[in-house]
């Protein structure tokens, strides 16, 4: 079997674009990958055109060789764009492999370990940044059966918050905790904003609540800063969504600073690379909660990955609350039921794209180029103001 061609589609939403790659083969089997990359959708699509020599004419079964061609053999150090492009191709290849074998992808990656995968909600707090509004929104999440929810309560801040914003953020956390109690854990998204002293102060202030983890409390990849936070809090620490490829996780393993790693399949080179990261994490007794802000395909791919992991913790899910129309991008969406993703059974991803629907939801364009929605977590984190990001 050989890959003979490809096409791309982009589905737009107010806060992120979802890019789809469809690979064609000489045996008539097509496979689909999906990714989101903030601010670089156009760049990733053009990159795929530049490197098509690495996958057109090649056997989709040879995943390791694909990785080698798209990273090592191009000489330059790969980063976010390369790993996202690789993930799009790699995920589409797994879909082809599963369809050719007549098996769901997780059965080809060691098989099923988990009977179901717990989900936590994100994107639910597109409301006014007031304790009353946050509490009411949290109540809808609990009523939907979720046992975990993540949110970013913080406003403007780079390294530290102004004091009024610091106390306002704590009020939001307390309001959500008053609703969730022991029924659902809350995960606090910090988006890498803080200097260690500010992250430590926040952690101390919220330890009384039912906190699942604090996420990216300091700059991505700053291990000494993360260790400083670790030494002063008992709260679990999660990080990893902005580390690209297994080599960038190297310093985490022996640091003692991280309890949960969060590789994003769509930006760390694909399913097999994420599984390698997760397997290394297990040897250090670190759990895995994949970062997932994707739509119909990448959510399914993350679910398949989790099903194969002995150290899977929970899977992020936006699409019940933020832009639920993305579920219409195809048939076979893995719906959350009573707080859990069920086990899929169809070959490949089991997804049938609706390309006409995707075309009916285009991204914005500026001067003929795809324009990604802006996001600056240091200037404005208000979902109420912007309706955006993780």
DSSP state of 108: G
Length of the chain in residues, anyone? Answer: 390
Q: Angle, nearest 10°, between helix axes 63-70 and 271-283? A: 100
Q: Could you please report the per-residue DSSP string of 33-92? A: EEE--TT-HHHHHHHHHHTGGGTTTS-TT-HHHHHHHHTGGG-SPP-HHHHHHHHHHHHH
185 DSSP β-pair partners: 148
DSSP state of 27: T
Residues serving a catalytic function are 191, 291
CA 377 – CA 388 distance, rounded (Å)? 10
């Amino acid at each position: 079997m050989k890959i003979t061609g490809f096409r791309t589609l982009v589905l737009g939403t107010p806060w992120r674009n979802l890019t789809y790659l469809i690979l064609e083969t000489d045996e008539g089997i097509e496979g689909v990958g999906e990714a989101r990359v903030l601010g670089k959708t156009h760049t990733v699509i053009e990159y795929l055109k530049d490197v098509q020599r690495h996958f057109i004419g090649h056997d989709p079964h040879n995943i390791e060789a694909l990785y080698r061609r798209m990273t090592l053999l191009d000489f330059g150090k790969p980063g976010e764009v390369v790993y996202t492009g690789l993930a799009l191709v790699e995920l589409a290849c797994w879909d082809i492999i599963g369809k050719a074998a007549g098996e769901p992808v997780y059965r080809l990656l060691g098989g099923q370990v988990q009977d179901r995968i717990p989900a936590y909600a994100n994107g639910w707090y597109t409301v006014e940044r007031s304790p009353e509004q946050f509490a009411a929104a949290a109540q809808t999440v609990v009523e939907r059966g979720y046992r975990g929810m993540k949110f970013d309560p913080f406003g403007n801040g780079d390294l530290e918050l102004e004091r009024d914003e610091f106390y306002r953020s704590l009020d939001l956390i307390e309001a959500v905790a008053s609703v969730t109690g022991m029924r659902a854990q809350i995960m606090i998204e910090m988006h890498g904003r803080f200097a260690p002293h500010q992250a430590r102060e926040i952690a101390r202030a919220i330890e009384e609540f039912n906190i699942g983890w604090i996420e990216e409390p300091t700059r991505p990849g700053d291990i000494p800063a993360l260790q400083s936070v670790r030494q002063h809090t008992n709260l679990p620490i999660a990080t990893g969504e902005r580390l690209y490829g297994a080599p960038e996780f190297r310093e985490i393993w022996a640091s003692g600073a991280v309890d949960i790693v969060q590789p994003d399949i769509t930006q760390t080179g694909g399913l097999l690379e994420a599984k390698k990261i997760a397997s290394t994490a297990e040897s250090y007794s670190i759990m895995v909660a994949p970062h997932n802000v994707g739509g119909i395909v990448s959510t399914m791919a993350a679910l398949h990955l989790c099903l194969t992991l002995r150290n899977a913790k929970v899977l992020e899910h936006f699409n019940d609350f933020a832009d639920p129309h993305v579920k219409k991008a195809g048939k076979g969406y893995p719906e959350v039921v009573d707080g859990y993703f069920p086990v899929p059974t169809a070959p490949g991803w089991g997804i049938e794209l609706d390309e006409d629907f995707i075309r009916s939801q285009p991204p914005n364009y500026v001067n003929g180029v795809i324009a990604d929605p802006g996001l600056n977590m240091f200037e404005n984190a208000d979902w109420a103001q912007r309706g955006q990001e993780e």
